[in-house]
Chain A
Amino acid sequence: NAGVTQTPKFRILKIGQSMTLQCTQDMNHNYMYWYRQDPGMGLKLIYYSVGAGITDKGEVPNGYNVSRSTTEDFPLRLELAAPSQTSVYFCASSRGTGRYEQYFGPGTRLTVT
């Protein structure tokens, strides 16, 4: 059981480049989340999804896009990378809310220069 997997683990982007962070879970969870964590800070919610075909903005959605075409996958897209997007990105999933914990992927460390 792989849980939540993220790729790549590390990436360096130039300003203005685009990329997609991949996230896959094999637990058949309905809920999936993308967070970013800046140095010395807590996690901030970027986007989340309550099921295939349904996505919604979190706290810091600007500069990002998501899609949820399947239950398993929840990719995060950066269209025009900016230095402010240098961060560690975590994907998480949960069966639901209220009674269910979130399972986190290992993270993607992104540097934009």
Chain B
Amino acid sequence: EDKVVQSPLSLVVHEGDTVTLNCSYEVTNFRSLLWYKQEKKAPTFLFMLTSSGIEKKSGRLSSILDKKELFSILNITATQTGDSAVYLCAVETNRDDKIIFGKGTRLHILP
């Protein structure tokens, strides 16, 4: 059965800290891995990763994929209170065009 597992499930840090969120997956026919940020409403897209070892970066956020070890990490440096959200990892498969989401990591940044 295809699955996506995120860790930790929740994380509380102080403003300015650096955090690393993990996403591991077991799927057949991997196509891509996606990261989303969800605040109060709908998820918003962060990154799409298809190739191993190539870091994607957007401001203080960065992400990398390891297709051999079947995981991805999302790094946030110099965290701010506005980074508080649930971060969702999802994996797209070639089989039936399905997307499987993890349960998310709830990140809370203390001022």
A74 at the interface (CB under 8 A from B): no
Count A-B pairs with CB separation below 8 Å.
Answer: 60
A53 at the interface (CB under 8 A from B): no
Complex Cα distance, B100 from A103, in Å, reads 16
Number of interface residues of A (CB under 8 A): 26
Chain A residues within 8 Å of B, Cβ to Cβ: 31, 33, 35, 40-45, 48, 50, 56, 58-59, 90, 97-107
| With A105-B42, A107-B41: A33-B99 Cβ-Cβ less than 8 Å | yes
Number of interface residues of B (CB under 8 A): 24
Q: Are B42 and A107 in contact (CB under 8 A)?
A: yes
Residue of B nearest to A91 (CB): B42
Q: Are A90 and B42 in contact (CB under 8 A)?
A: yes
Residue of B nearest to A56 (CB): B96
Complex Cα distance, B104 from A79, in Å, reads 30
Complex Cα distance, B35 from A42, in Å, reads 12
Chain B 39-74 interface residues, beta-carbon cutoff 8 Å to A = 41-45, 48, 50
B42, B43, B50, B96: residue with the most chain A Cβ atoms closer than 10 Å: B42
Q: What are 30 pairs between A and B in contact, CB < 8 Å?
A: A31-B97, A33-B99, A40-B103, A41-B104, A42-B4, A42-B88, A44-B101, A45-B101, A48-B97, A48-B98, A50-B97, A56-B97, A58-B98, A59-B98, A90-B42, A90-B43, A97-B31, A97-B32, A97-B92, A98-B31, A98-B92, A99-B48, A99-B50, A100-B48, A102-B45, A103-B45, A104-B43, A104-B44, A107-B41, A107-B42
A35, A43, A100: residue with the most chain B Cβ atoms closer than 10 Å: A43
Complex Cα distance, B97 from A48, in Å, reads 9
